[in-house]
C-alpha cells in the first residue's frame, strides 16, 4: 500500500489527528502528511502512505486557501477561536480594502504568530503562548502569488478572500496584518485549503469515505500512485539488466539508455516491466545516471 491519499480534513482535527485516525483505518504505521493545517481549517491534506513518505518534502510547496475574515477586532490566535484582545468601531470601505491588498502580494516579510509550531530557542511558540509567554519573533520571507477578494460587506465588515502562497505562510497573519494596516484589526473566521502540492478538493476523500473504501476492499482505487507527483519530469525506461543494476544503486551509462532527454537533469525512472522505481539525476561530467531517490 504505497501512494498518496488525499484527505478532506474535517474541522476540529489537527493534521496529526488525521494521521492517527488513518493508522487505525489502514493498519499501517508508515504515514506522513504534506503541510500542516490548523484545527479550525478544513480541506486538502495529502497523506503519504508507505514508501511514498520519502516524497513528503518533494511536493510543490504552493497552496491555495479560501478564508473568511472579520474586521474590527484582534485576538491572541489571530482567528475567531482565540481570546479577543481589542475591538474597533472603525468602518473599512471596499475601496480602502482594495487599496491595501496589493501590499501583501509578492515576496513579503511576515512575523509568525505566537500560536504556531515555529520553534524559538528549541521551544514551540504555541507551548509558550499557552503559558502566557510572548517572545520576540524574527520576520520571515514568504511568497504570496495572489490575493483575490471574493466578497466584502461594508456593513458587517466581513468578507472572503482567496490566497495562493508558498511554504510557511500563515493566512490568519495576513488577515491580521491587513487589519493592522487599515487601523481596525482583523481576525480569520474560517479557512479551507482548496489546493496543495498539485492536488485539489476534487481529489480528496473524507475520513468516513476512506473507512468505507477500506471496508469494501477498494482502497487501491483511491490511493494515487507516487509517480503522479513527478509526472512533469521526462521518463526513462530501463531494460531488464539496467533495472536490476539501478535498483542496486549502480550508476548507469547515459549513452546506453534509450530515448533519454539530453537536455534534462532529472528523470522519472521506470523498470523494464513498466513499474515506477524513482528519480534519477544525470551527471553529465561522468556521463552517468545516478540514483536520486527510489520508491521501491
pLDDT tens track for 167-187 = 889 999 999 999 999 999 999
Task: Report yes or no: 71 and 182 within 8 Å, Cβ to Cβ.
Answer: yes
Pairing of strands 266-270, 235-237: parallel
The values of phi and psi at residue 98, to 5°, are -60, -30
The values of phi and psi at residue 52, to 5°, are -65, -15
The pTM of the full predicted model, rounded to 2 decimals, is 0.90
Active-site choice (17, 38, 203, 253)? 38
pLDDT of residue 252: 94
Cβ-count burial 162-181 (b if 16+ within 10 Å, e if not): ebbbeeebbbbbbbbbbbeb
115, pLDDT greater than 90: no
Q: Residue 38 catalytic?
A: yes
Instruction: Report the chain's mean pLDDT, rounded to a whole number.
Output: 92
Domains in the chain and their CATH numbers?
3-60+198-227 (3.30.2350.10), 63-196 (3.30.2350.10), 232-294 (2.30.130.10)
Q: Could you report how far apart the first and last alpha carbons of the chain are, in Å?
A: 11
Amino acid at each position: 500500500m504505497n501512494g498518496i491519499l488525499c484527505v478532506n480534513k474535517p474541522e476540529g482535527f489537527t493534521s496529526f489527528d488525521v494521521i492517527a485516525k488513518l493508522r487505525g483505518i489502514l493498519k499501517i504505521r508508515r504515514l506522513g502528511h504534506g503541510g500542516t493545517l490548523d484545527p479550525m481549517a478544513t480541506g486538502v491534506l495529502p497523506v503519504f502512505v508507505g514508501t511514498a513518505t520519502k516524497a513528503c518534502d518533494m511536493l510543490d510547496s504552493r497552496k491555495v486557501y479560501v478564508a473568511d475574515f472579520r474586521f474590527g477586532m484582534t485576538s491572541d490566535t489571530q482567528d475567531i477561536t482565540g481570546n479577543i484582545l481589542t475591538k474597533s468601531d472603525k468602518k473599512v470601505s471596499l475601496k480602502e480594502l482594495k487599496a491595501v491588498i496589493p501590499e501583501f502580494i509578492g515576496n513579503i516579510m511576515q512575523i509568525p504568530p505566537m500560536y504556531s509550531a515555529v520553534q524559538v530557542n528549541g521551544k514551540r511558540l504555541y507551548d509558550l503562548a499557552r503559558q502566557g509567554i510572548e517572545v520576540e519573533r524574527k520576520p520571515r520571507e514568504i511568497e504570496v502569488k495572489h490575493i483575490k477578494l471574493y466578497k466584502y460587506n461594508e456593513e458587517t465588515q466581513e468578507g472572503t478572500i482567496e490566497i495562493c502562497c508558498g511554504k510557511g505562510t500563515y493566512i490568519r497573519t495576513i488577515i491580521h496584518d491587513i487589519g493592522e494596516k487599515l487601523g481596525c484589526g482583523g481576525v480569520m473566521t474560517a479557512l479551507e485549503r482548496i489546493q496543495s502540492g498539485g492536488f485539489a478538493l476534487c481529489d480528496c476523500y473524507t475520513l468516513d469515505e476512506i473507512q468505507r473504501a477500506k471496508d469494501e476492499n477498494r482502497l487501491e482505487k483511491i490511493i494515487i500512485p507516487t509517480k503522479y507527483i513527478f509526472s512533469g519530469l521526462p521518463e526513462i525506461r530501463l531494460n531488464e539488466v539496467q533495472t536490476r543494476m539501478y535498483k542496486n544503486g549502480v550508476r548507469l551509462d547515459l549513452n546506453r539508455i534509450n530515448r533519454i532527454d539530453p537536455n534534462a537533469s532529472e528523470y522519472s525512472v521506470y523498470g523494464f516491466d513498466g513499474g515506477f522505481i524513482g528519480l534519477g539525476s544525470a551527471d553529465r561530467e561522468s556521463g552517468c545516471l545516478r540514483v536520486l531517490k527510489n520508491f521501491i
